[in-house]
Chains A and B, each alone.
Chain A
Amino acid sequence: MKGLLIKDFRLMKVQKSFFILMFAVGIGQALLSEDASSAIGFPTFIVSLFAISSISYDEFDNGNAFLFSLPITRSGYVAEKYCFGIILGGGVWALSSAVIAIVSIARNTAPVMELLVSTASILPIMLILLAVMIPVQLKFGGEKSRVALLVAYGCIVVLGLAVTKAAEMLDVDLFAMLDRLPVMSLGAVIGCAVLIALLALAVSMGISLAVIKRKQF
Chain B
Amino acid sequence: MLEINGLVKRYGDFTLDCTMHVEKGRITGLIGQNGAGKSTAFKAVLGLISTDGGTIRIFGKEQGELTVKDRQKIGVVFADSGFSGYLTVSDIVPVLANLYTDFDKAFFLKQAKRFELPLRKKIKEFSTGMKAKLKVLTATASHAKLLLLDEPTVGLDVVARDELLELLREFMEEDEENAILISSHISSDLESLCDDLYMIHSGKIVLHEDTDVLLSDYGLLKVDERQYAGLDRQYLMRVRRGPYGYDCLTNQKRYYMENYPGIAVEKGSIDEVITMMIRGDEV
- Interchain CB contact under 8 A, B48 and A11: no
Nearest-neighbour CB distance to chain A for B239, whole angstroms, equals 40
Chain A residues near B98 (CB, 8 Å)?
Answer: 2-3, 6
Q: How far is the CA of A71 from the CA of B82 in the complex (A)?
A: 14
How many positions in chain A have a CB within 8 Å of any CB in the partner chain? 27
Name A's interface SS.
helix
Q: How far is the CA of A2 from the CA of B74 in the complex (A)?
A: 19
Q: Scan residues 37-95 of chain B and give those whose CB is less than 8 A from a CB of chain A.
A: 43, 46-50, 68-69, 71-72, 74, 76, 78, 80-87, 91-92, 94-95
Q: Which of B84, B85, B99 contacts A71 (CB 8 A)?
A: B99
- Interchain CB contact under 8 A, A71 and B100: yes
Q: Is B160's beta carbon under 8 Å from chain A?
A: no
Q: Which of B91, B97, B148 contacts A10 (CB 8 A)?
A: B91
Chain B residues near A14 (CB, 8 Å)?
Answer: 86
Q: Is B96's beta carbon under 8 Å from chain A?
A: yes
Nearest-neighbour CB distance to chain A for B134, whole angstroms, equals 12
- Interchain CB contact under 8 A, A63 and B81: yes
| Chain B residue at minimum C-beta to C-beta distance from A7 | B95
Q: Which of B43, B84, B99, B100 contacts A65 (CB 8 A)?
A: B43
Q: Scan residues 1-30 of chain A and give those whose CB is less than 8 A from a CB of chain B.
A: 2-4, 6-7, 10-11, 13-14
Q: Is A61's beta carbon under 8 Å from chain B?
A: yes
5 A-B pairs, CB-CB below 8 angstroms?
A: A2-B98, A63-B82, A66-B78, A70-B76, A217-B48
Q: Is A153's beta carbon under 8 Å from chain B?
A: no
- Interchain CB contact under 8 A, A71 and B72: yes
Nearest-neighbour CB distance to chain B for A71, whole angstroms, equals 4
Q: Which of B47, B81, B87, B100 contacts A11 (CB 8 A)?
A: B87
- Interchain CB contact under 8 A, B48 and A70: no
Chain A residues near B50 (CB, 8 Å)?
Answer: 216
Q: What 0/1 pattern do residues 188 to 230 of B give for CB contact below 8 A with A? A: 0000000000000000000000000000000000000000000
Q: Scan residues 90-131 of chain B and give those whose CB is less than 8 A from a CB of chain A.
A: 91-92, 94-100
Nearest-neighbour CB distance to chain A for B244, whole angstroms, equals 47
Q: Which of A3, A57, A73, A76 contacts B84 (CB 8 A)?
A: A57
Chain B residues near A216 (CB, 8 Å)?
Answer: 48-50
Identify which of B49, B68, B84, B98 gathers the most chain A CB atoms within 10 Å of its CB. B84
Q: Is A60's beta carbon under 8 Å from chain B?
A: yes
Q: How far is the CA of A65 from the CA of B92 in the complex (A)?
A: 17
Nearest-neighbour CB distance to chain B for A2, whole angstroms, equals 4
Nearest-neighbour CB distance to chain A for B51, whole angstroms, equals 10
Assuming the contacts A6-B98, A71-B99, asked whether A61 and B43 have C-beta atoms less than 8 A apart, the reply is: no
